[in-house]
Amino acid sequence: MECENPMCQHGQDQNCQNPSHVRKAVKKPVTIEFIEWTGNNLKDVIAFTGRHESSKEWSWEKFEAIVKVGGLKIFTLEGSHKASIGDLIIKGVAGEFYPCKPDIFEQTYDAV
């Protein structure tokens, strides 16, 4: 699809609307909530995220044991992702949760 904007040189013009062109955007400033997964704060993490339906068949003690062996799974909009110790668990703008590596968090967010 050829761009109709004569000033556009493959997406370099900010007014280009051609979806085939690579364009740039600035992330909107939003405030998020987060908690760090330390490996020892499962109750705090679950109080923040809620307990996924798939784990509710187990007692709390069984659930803790499963997380200790298999790791903490965070159920995101894209499926389950394992959170590593030190990851930040973020509540997104749509109420979804996802793990974020500390270095990515530092590049993307400023704690308030």
Q: Look at residue 14 in the predicted model and tell me its pLDDT.
A: 62
Read off the pTM: 0.78
CA distance 28 to 31: 10
Q: Look at residue 10 in the predicted model and tell me its pLDDT.
A: 58
Q: Look at residue 31 in the predicted model and tell me its pLDDT.
A: 93
Sort strands 72-76 and 88-91 into parallel, antiparallel or unpaired: unpaired
Average pLDDT, 10 consecutive residues per value, the chain (112 residues): 60 66 84 96 97 92 95 93 97 95 95 90
Dmax of the chain from CA atoms?
65
